Amino acid sequence: MACFHIRWFDSTLDWECHDTQADAELVAQELARLEEGFTIEKYQDGEATLPVSAKKQRALVLGSIESALTLFGA
């Protein structure tokens, strides 16, 4: 099964899989910052090794901060 991913112009490949190219383009347009570019890349299942998404990275960082505050006090 094919899957479409957003590649931002800074070379970051978003992990989220979109069923169609049109869906991926719509999401990219909604997420793009001013003058930030992107392309849509098509992959087959298991073809791409994808990095952690920006949303998940933020959640991991926030979780780490909350853990540190709990451990060391705030």
Kindly report, residue by residue over 3-47, the tens digit of the pLDDT: 899 999 988 888 888 999 999 999 999 999 888 899 999 988 666
Distance CA 41, CA 50 (A): 12
- pTM for the model stands at 0.58
| Integer CA distances (angstroms), 73 to 24, 58, 63, in order | 42, 21, 15
Kindly report, residue by residue over 41-65, the tens digit of the pLDDT: 998 866 655 444 555 554 554 555 5
Distance CA 44, CA 3 (A): 6
Nearest alpha carbon to residue 40 among 71, 16, 72, 67: 16
> Residue ranges of the domains in the chain?
2-72
pLDDT value for 53? 52
Place of tokens 């970051």: 12
